[in-house]
């Protein structure tokens, strides 16, 4: 009706109306239409390349046929839109929430109770996992609880949609291209049906959240039924333990020890670059927060100081096993969540020092702090608006250099100070 009405009013043939209507479309609509056409060509390219990799073209074509671009995902570089000064952290709570919010006490208590029940229910599986792989049951339960709330969290995305979008216009296209091929291979091998391949925003699948490439490199068939089933607890828990083992898990130590900073030590010494033995940290003035002495074995461990909330919360000497948690998910808050939950499930309680009610600066504000600190000669290695060990440490070093009491926490007051200093 619209086309016929335009024909009558404008005197144009119907065949010429498409160009007129396209001309009248908003710029965003035209851009999205062009992007969809490019995406269709991209999917055809993926089908051809998948076939060359030994994946049936019919599988790839079917899996990608209904795949849709998801422009709401983080970490995208959408053609025609201005590039962000720093990558978006939208949807990544590890980088947008302060510690006391991310490590929500009520949520952790609820998950720990459920975890203790599951430790009883799956005690045979957990015993087999520890005997075979050397990773304690409470640790793999901590991973399961954080990743999918023990299977209670419904993953929001279709993995093929997510991975195709990220491989097409993501900031890390090549990485996600390989993940997309791995997901198609999973479907092709009948490991999972496409409709059941639900994932996180980054394409991780299963109860303990494996990237598709990890399915082929580290997943285990613990129950011996011939299938690596990441949606069944026995295989999922064994697979998570295997991944931790392959990432360097050490069976003779915990992930960390809560400590108090004293003597000549301060938070500016935190982070992996400040790795020392526990003996060296003790000699600098660190003490166990529970008042007990370090054991002779502990004194020889290589550790670094972790101040996830600056000086406004619990402080830890963390071991290689903490680093292994970070290799599972590259975030201090994630690793602390898993460690805290695992300790609670094992009946060891939570941290002694409480978290302060910290405020989190925005991603852009943190990026500006990083930028100014780098300009002032401090060792900022990446301007990304994400709060990691190096940024906290460099904030502390700046504060020490300026005669301030180091707290290693980014604030708007700190931002204003480095802005003023940068203008001089």
Q: Which residues are catalytic?
A: 147
Q: CA–CA separation, 166 vs 156, rounded Å?
A: 16
Whether residue 343 contacts residue 349, with contact meaning beta carbons closer than 8 Å, is answered with yes
List of long-range contacts for 222-229, beta carbons under 8 Å, 24+ apart? 222/125, 222/128, 222/129, 222/132, 227/191, 228/191
Q: CA–CA separation, 114 vs 123, rounded Å?
A: 14
Question: Which residue is listed with tokens 């009948």?
Answer: 190
Residue 416: how many other CB atoms lie within 10 Å: 10
Q: Supply the DSSP string of 191-256, one letter for each residue.
A: SS-GGG-EE-TT--BTTTTB-HHHHHHH---TT-SS---TTSHHHHHHHHHHHHHHTT--TTS-SE
Tokens of 43: 């999917």
Residue 209: how many other CB atoms lie within 10 Å: 23
Which among 241, 243, 247, 254 has a CA at the least distance from the CA of 134? 241
Counting every residue, how long is the chain? 424
């Amino acid at each position: 009706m619209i086309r016929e009405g335009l024909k009558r009013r404008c005197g144009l043939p119907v065949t010429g109306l498409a160009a007129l209507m396209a001309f009248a479309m908003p710029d965003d609509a035209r851009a999205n239409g062009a992007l969809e056409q490019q995406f269709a060509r991209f999917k055809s390219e993926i089908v051809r390349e998948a076939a060359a990799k030994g994946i049936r073209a019919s599988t790839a074509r079917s899996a990608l046929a209904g795949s849709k671009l998801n422009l709401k995902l983080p970490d995208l570089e959408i053609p025609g839109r201005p590039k962000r000064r720093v990558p978006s952290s939208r949807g990544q709570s590890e980088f947008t929430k302060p510690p006391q919010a991310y490590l929500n006490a009520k949520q952790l208590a609820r998950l720990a109770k459920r975890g203790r029940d599951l430790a009883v229910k799956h005690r045979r599986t957990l015993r087999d996992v520890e005997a075979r792989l050397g990773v304690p049951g409470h640790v793999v339960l901590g991973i399961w609880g954080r990743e999918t709330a023990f299977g209670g969290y419904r993953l929001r995305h279709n993995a093929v949609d997510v991975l195709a979008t990220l491989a097409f216009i993501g900031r890390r296209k090549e990485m996600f291209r390989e993940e997309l091929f791995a997901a198609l291979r999973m479907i092709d091998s009948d490991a999972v049906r496409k409709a059941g391949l639900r994932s996180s925003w980054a394409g991780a699948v299963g109860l303990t959240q494996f990237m598709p490439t990890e399915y082929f490199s580290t997943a285990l068939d613990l129950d011996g039924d011939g299938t690596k089933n990441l949606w069944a607890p026995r295989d999922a828990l064994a697979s998570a333990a295997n991944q931790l083992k392959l990432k360097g898990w050490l069976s003779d130590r915990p992930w960390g020890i809560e400590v108090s900073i004293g003597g000549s030590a301060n938070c500016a010494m935190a982070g992996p670059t400040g790795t020392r033995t526990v003996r060296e940290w003790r000699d600098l003035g660190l003490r166990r927060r529970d008042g007990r002495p370090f054991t002779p074995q502990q004194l020889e461990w290589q550790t670094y100081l972790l101040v996830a909330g600056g000086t406004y919360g619990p402080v830890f000497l963390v071991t290689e096993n903490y680093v292994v948690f970070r290799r599972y998910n590259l975030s201090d808050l994630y690793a602390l969540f898993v460690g805290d939950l695992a300790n609670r499930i094992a009946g060891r309680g939570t941290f002694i020092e409480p978290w302060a009610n910290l405020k989190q600066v925005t991603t852009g504000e943190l990026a500006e702090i990083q930028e100014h600190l780098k300009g002032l000669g401090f060792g900022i290695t990446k301007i990304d608006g994400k709060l990691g060990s190096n940024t906290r440490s460099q904030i502390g070093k700046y504060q020490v250099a300026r005669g301030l009491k180091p707290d290693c926490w980014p604030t708007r007051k700190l931002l204003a100070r480095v802005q003023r200093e940068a203008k001089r």
